[in-house]
Amino acid sequence: MAEKTAIVSPLPGIFYRRPSPDMPEFVQTGESVKEGDVIGLIEVMKNFYEIKAEADGIVDQFVVNNEELVDAGQELVTLIK
């Protein structure tokens, strides 16, 4: 049974799946990520904060869409270990 873990946003702000508007998305559903890989950005107070995978896994689902507003503690992405 695969174990699911969620990556939560430590900050309120806008979630971005790309490093900049003309660049490809950091990761896609189904791709594997390693601990420390950037999976998205949160913009708040004119800062961009990198959201990183806390463990190795496979991207299961993006719970939040690109450019959606999120709260601190909200789930962004689920991973399958």
Integer angstrom CA distances of residue 56 from 37, 44, 46, 47, 59: 9, 27, 30, 26, 10
Which residues 2-41 are close enough to bind another protein by CB under 8 A?
8, 10-14
Specify the length of the chain in residues: 81
Rule CB under 8 A: is residue 1 a binding residue for another protein? Answer: no
What are φ and ψ of residue 19, in 5° steps? -70, -30
CB of 45 to another protein, least distance (A): 4
In the list 5, 6, 18, 49, the residue contacting another protein (rule: CB under 8 A) is 49
List alpha helices for the chain, DSSP H.
none
In the list 4, 28, 35, 73, the residue contacting another protein (rule: CB under 8 A) is 73
Which residues are near another protein by CB under 8 A?
A: 8, 10-14, 43-47, 49, 69-73
